[in-house]
Amino acid sequence: MPEFRIRQAAELLGVSDDTIRRWADSGRLPTTTDASNRRVVDGEALAEFAIELATMQPRPSQQHTVAQSARNHFTGLVTRVVKDTVMAQVEIQAGPFRVVSLMSREAADDLGLAPGVLAIASVKATNVTVEIPDQ
């Protein structure tokens, strides 16, 4: 299972490194140490925490769009993968945003998608593709 350093976890949740450390020190976010004795957060635990955090945050108010891009990329953590024999439903928590993608089971398996995996949802119109960043 992937592990994320404090800085990486902070970037994924949109908070400061110090906030992650405070949450870890208070027991709100579980951490362990890696082989180099650095604090890390288990990817699956971080995914669960991202969901919890997102449900606590109020939704942004309706705003008028001033500019728009043709493509949007949302980096986040896979929080849920539901597979049947042909298709897979993949949920990604990207900060306060939940992105859901439907793809072939083969694609989800090839990407190794599972809760706690870092992924990028690329959105264009109604199609969402999922990418794995170079780590």
User: Concatenated DSSP letters for 3-55?
Assistant: EEEHHHHHHHHTS-HHHHHHHHHTTSS--EE-TTS-EEEEHHHHHHHHHHHHH
Provide the pLDDT for residue 68. Answer: 47
Average pLDDT over residues 56-65: 54
| Res. 123: pLDDT tops 90 | no
The domains of the chain are located at: 3-43, 72-131
- The correct CATH number of 72-131 out of 2.40.50.100, 3.30.70.260, 3.30.70.2500, 2.40.50.180 is 2.40.50.100
Bigger pLDDT: 55 vs 46: 46
What is this structure's pTM?
A: 0.63
Average pLDDT over residues 24-43: 94
Q: How confident is the model at residue 87 (pLDDT cuts 50, 70, 90)?
A: very high
